[in-house]
Structure 1
Amino acid sequence: MQNDEKRIINQDEKNEDIKIINERNHKLNNVKELGNQEIPMPPEDIHFISIIGEIEGHIVAQPQKKATKYEHIIPQLLAAERDPKIKGLLILINTVGGDVEAGLALSEMINSMSKPKVSLILGGGHSIGVPLATSSDYSYIVPTATMTLHPIRMTGLVIGVPQTFRYFQKMQQRILDFILRTSDISREYLKQLMYETDEIANDVGTILIGQEAVECGLIDEVGGLDKAIAKLYELMES
């Protein structure tokens, strides 16, 4: 009987030692990967998605670049739409742009979700990041963030035949139509900003900073994380 009790005590001690070792390894891994021992768990009623760096589509981005793979975001959006515990979606954006079709596909998917969604532009929402920002029910931009509007361009491609030019026109029209459908900017003003020649050196387009993006009707409001989360809960409750 005493031997059985000793075995139980020894096993409990071993289990406690294993638990301590696992906790220590978990903290060390957090410090190594994120620079912090403890990571607060977000509430289950909101799903957070971050879109950073370059939007990677059908072609793999260069290894030295930060990239958001659209095949990683699509399953998250599908799961968020289907999960009854998730009541809203918060999209954090800091992107330089990237693959046009991948970015537009993500924008359409976000826009078609039935659950409330709020977007927040942190550093930048450039190029195809513009429709990603306007795809939500309500959009915010921090005062120092920027948005770059410009026509579709492809490095190294020379438009040598009419068919190629028409293809670019159709791609551009898809982006224009989506932005107009999901924001308050007018078609004439949007095209004017996209084809501005005095704003960007050696290029065509316009850079909007914080409040400017709101004044032209692209973004709903200037604000940070606190306002974005508060607005999402407001939409979820209504």
Structure 2
Amino acid sequence: MLVDVTKCIGCWWCYAACKNYNNNPETARPTPEDPPELEADCWSTLFPLKKGDEWSHRKHACMHCTEASCEEVCPTGAITHEGGIVVIDQEWCIGCGYCVQACPFGVPHKDEHLGTARKCTFCIDRVNSGLPTACADACPTGAIQYGKRTDLLTTARARVQSLIDNGTPKANLYGENELGGLRVLYVLDDTPEAYGLPEEPKVATSKLPFQWLGGLLTGGLVAFLPFWLIFKRKKKVEAE
């Protein structure tokens, strides 16, 4: 996916399409003055940037990192890569919250009702059927483009050079190399920090209890997991 902030008009159609497609509860139409934060039931939003009397916007959702912090710290293997898409298996997630703490972009959030972490799925079912993501399909200006990463990189580099040549010296491409390469690329007209992005995102694992609990946690978890999964499935059956 390629997001070009210079083409975004702040219509919020991507936000609405994501909500609708994933059956997440809708809210009143957001505004740049009061944008919704990512939550367990809000997987895509816009990050607004005020420039004089105008607003610029950056679509904000999961980056689907190649070197994904969330996958690194997940103690159950619930978070995996599927064709470059970072997926949380809701059956295996135990709601420990380590992925929430580890993500340098603040993406995953725990659903307190379901007891699991949730985030953008990159519309994996649509993508596997040869369709674009819901947000890209809904974008009226081409600010969100879906396609092969190699093709999108070529498009992004050309766009950045065009912006620089036409008087936008801070134009840059974000996501090509960060964390091994992001599945979501950005054409920015200002610094990453201006758009709420870390200039050099890190695999944020050192602060997590998973690291210093080490063998104790791992050993206990191996013994505990079968019982947890049986309990989860039992609760799911009862709910149905």
- Greater RCO between the two (CA within 8 Å, min separation 6)? 2
Bigger Rg over Cα:
1
TM-score for the superposition, normalised by structure 1: 0.23
TM-score for the superposition, normalised by structure 2: 0.23
